[in-house]
Amino acid sequence: MNELSKLFLPPEGSTLAHQTDTLFWFVHISGLILTVGLIVVIVYFVIKYHRKSEDEVTPLITHNNTLEITWSVIPLIFVLIVFGWGYKVYMEQQTVPDDAYEVNVTAQQWAWGFDYDNGAHSMKELHVPAGRPVKLVMTSKDVIHSFYVPAFRLKQDVLPNRYTEIWFNAPKPGRYQIFCAEYCGTGHSQMLGTVVVQKPQKFQTWLAKNKGGAAASNLPPAKLGKQIYEQYACSTCHSTDGSKKTGPTWKGLFGSKVQLSNGKTVTADEDYIRESIEKPHAKIVKGFQPVMPSFQGQFSDDQINGIIAYIKTLK
């Protein structure tokens, strides 16, 4: 059974995963028995009652109320069991323990951001202590996203202007995949992340080190720009090696003449780059779609200067 589970389901990373899996197998195996049973009956009928001559006359059998009731009531009992069991597990998924450690999650096109109680902030990687319930309070800056960790058997949509909650308890330290499960635009499939489950001590150390936000501002501008490029998932759409992705490449961009879709040509200077970050739809490069979300208000001047400095290094 465990071997079978490994083939079909991801490893069980949370305390609730096992209950979900048991139910998963109960419904699938009952369904399999029903499917095989019905197929065997049909195959048997087809062989046994194969047409021998065109003049064959069949008996008149119109209905049988006992049978109708039997095959209505038995499935009804079965689905009621599955319904009750499913709802019970669901309620446990929904009921957050009181001592849960709270992390705020912010989703945006196309990256995950995490804020911790001491002001620490991380992008893409969610750090949590092992063996302790963790509650995520989630909201979105733009469209609907969905926070999905297959190993925890958990998923919850993340909505703009609203807060949704989810909780889990991951007993084993390790790294678990985060997906965005609600289609959110061009970079949807790149909106990935990792839950880093650490031993409580290690987690505390990490948390303390990142207290009050990333120490990023101490970095030289070009290094800071590179860090933002990776953390804010700019790399989803913009390459640094000249290859064409969803957006134009950054290689050789600075100072070049850019052909726009409205036929005009502009020089890619500091103002152009700043405008492209804050109002991406103001100037669309020829051959590309206006799909970039606006980052207005998300970056400080230092950070935007960092991005510009980084682009300048990409000759």
Partner 1 sequence: METAEKTSNLKKIQVQRYKPEEDPKDHYLNAMKGIWSWLTTLDHKRIGVLYLCSITFFFFVGGLMALMIRTELWTPTATFIQAHTYNELFTLHGSIMIFLFLVPSVPAALGNFILPVQLGAKDVAFPRLNLLSYYLYITGAAIVICAILSGGVDTGWTFYTPYSIQTSTAVTIMTFGVFVIGFSSILTGVNFITTIHKMRAPGMTWGKISLFSWSLYATSIMQILATPVLAITLALVAMERIMGVGIFDPSLGGDPVLYQHMFWFYSHPAVYIMIVPGFGVVSEVITTFSKKHIFGYWAIALSSLSIAFISFLVWGHHMFVSGQSAMASMVFSFLTFMVGIPTGIKMFNWAATLYKGSIKLESPLLYIFGFFFLFLVGGITGIVLSTVALDVHLHDTYYVVAHFHFVMVGGMVMAFLAGLHYWWPKITGKMYNEKLARFTCGLIFIGFNVTFLPQFVMGAQGMPRRYFNYIEQFQPFHQVSTVGAYMLGLGFFIVFVYLVKSIFTGEKAPANPWGSRGLEFQVPSPVPAHNFEHIPVIVHGPYDYHKPMDEFQLGIAGSGNGHGNTVDATLKTNGKEIKAE
Stretch that binds partner 1, among 119-127, 184-192, 213-221, 261-269 (CB under 8 A): 184-192
Site for partner 1 in 94-133 (CB under 8 A): 94
SS (H, E, C) 204-241: HHHHHHCCCCCHHHHCCHHHHHHHHHHHCCHHHCCCCC
From the list 111, 126, 180, 309, which residue makes contact with partner 1 (rule: CB under 8 A)?
A: 180
Q: Give min distance, CB of 1 to partner 1, in A.
A: 15
Q: Are strands 164-168 and 125-129 parallel, antiparallel or unpaired?
A: unpaired
For residue 150, state whether it binds partner 1 (rule: CB under 8 A). yes
From the list 4, 18, 39, 255, which residue makes contact with partner 1 (rule: CB under 8 A)?
A: 39
The interface mask with partner 1, positions 49-88, x = CB under 8 A, is xxxx-x-xxxxxxxxx--xx--xx--xx--xx-xx-xxxx
For residue 230, state whether it binds partner 1 (rule: CB under 8 A). no
From the list 130, 192, 216, 258, which residue makes contact with partner 1 (rule: CB under 8 A)?
A: 192
- Partnered with residue 104 across adjacent β-strands are 115, 137
For residue 3, state whether it binds partner 1 (rule: CB under 8 A). no
Nearer to partner 1, 172 or 281 (CB): 281
158 closest CA partner among 184, 140, 179: 140
Count of residues in contact with partner 1, rule CB under 8 A: 91
Give the whole-angstrom CA distance, residue 163 versus residue 100.
Answer: 17
From the list 171, 172, 183, 267, which residue makes contact with partner 1 (rule: CB under 8 A)?
A: 183
Nearer to partner 1, 34 or 208 (CB): 34
Give the whole-angstrom CA distance, residue 252 versus residue 128.
Answer: 40
Nearer to partner 1, 182 or 221 (CB): 182
Longest dimension (CA), the chain: 93
Q: Give min distance, CB of 209 to partner 1, in A.
A: 29
CA distances from 286 to 261, 270, 308 (A): 4, 20, 21
Give the whole-angstrom CA distance, residue 180 versus residue 91.
Answer: 23
From the list 96, 100, 144, 216, which residue makes contact with partner 1 (rule: CB under 8 A)?
A: 144
**How is residue 100 annotated by DSSP?**
P
Site for partner 1 in 236-255 (CB under 8 A): 244-246
Question: Do the beta carbons of residue 40 and residue 178 sit within 8 Å?
Answer: no
From the list 102, 115, 125, 142, which residue makes contact with partner 1 (rule: CB under 8 A)?
A: 142
Question: Do the beta carbons of residue 191 and residue 110 sit within 8 Å?
Answer: yes
Q: Give min distance, CB of 308 to partner 1, in A.
A: 25
Q: Are strands 125-129 and 193-198 parallel, antiparallel or unpaired?
A: parallel
- For 23, the token pair is 């139910």
Q: Give min distance, CB of 174 to partner 1, in A.
A: 15
Site for partner 1 in 268-287 (CB under 8 A): 281
223 closest CA partner among 310, 292, 141, 299: 310
For residue 38, state whether it binds partner 1 (rule: CB under 8 A). yes
Site for partner 1 in 200-219 (CB under 8 A): none
Q: Give min distance, CB of 186 to partner 1, in A.
A: 5
